[in-house]
Every structure is written in structure tokens, then in C-alpha cells.
Amino acid sequence: MIREMDWGTRGRRVLGSVWVVLAALLVLLAALALLGSIIHGHYDSHTNRAPALLIGIAAVGAVAGIGALSSAVGATLGHARVSTPAGLALTAATAALIVLYGIAALATGPM
């Protein structure tokens, strides 16, 4: 016997999948920012005036992104350890930290 899914179940699965993809992209961006900050983590008064700040922001963003991705996957599969609002807050925090990283990189970059 084939059971049909209602629109609510389909919608939750689609939104959950979109959330997982978004969280994965944010983790990738944060990880690349962290890697770039570590590689270019030397102080230079003209091109990189605050390498520790950039590394710190990128590291916190990567950690928040991993938490957001874990929450998104758990919520989509139905066995989340973190509530959906907390996972969405982690996703928003990761996006905000990536934006903050970009602003800090521009502010501390070349004069």
C-alpha cells in the first residue's frame, strides 16, 4: 500500500532540504574565510592590520556554521538535538558573522 504525503510533510521536507543546503554553503564560506585568514595571518601595517581579529571572527563563524548544519540535518531527518528556532538562530548568526568578517577584512585591509 502506497501512502500519500500531505502538503505539510512535503513542505517541511523541501524547506528542510533548502535549510541544509544553505547551512552547508555558510559552513563552506566560513571555513574558507578561516583558511584564508590563517594562511594570510601575518601582520603588515599596509595590507593586514588585524590578522587575529579576522581569524577569531572566522573561527567563531565556522563553529556556529557547523552547529547550524548539524541542527538543519537533524531537523530534516526528524531527530534533532537542537530545537528548530535555535538552529535557525545559529544559521542567522553564521550569516551575520560572515558579513562581519567581510566588513572587518575591508576595514583592516589595504590602505
The reported pLDDT for the residue numbered 52 is 93
The reported pLDDT for the residue numbered 100 is 97
CA distances from 31 to 13, 18, 81, 87, 90 (A): 27, 20, 23, 19, 15
Residue pair 58/30 in contact (Cβ under 8 Å)? The answer is yes
Give the DSSP letter of residue 49: S
pLDDT exceeding 70 applies to what percent of the chain? 94
Helix (H) or strand (E) holding 21, with range, is helix 7-39
The residue ranges of every structural domain in the chain are: 12-108
**Whether the model pTM is above 0.75:** yes
The reported pLDDT for the residue numbered 20 is 96
Tens of pLDDT, residues 59-105: 999 999 999 999 999 988 888 788 889 999 999 999 999 999 999 99
Q: Which three cell numbers mark 31?
A: 571555513
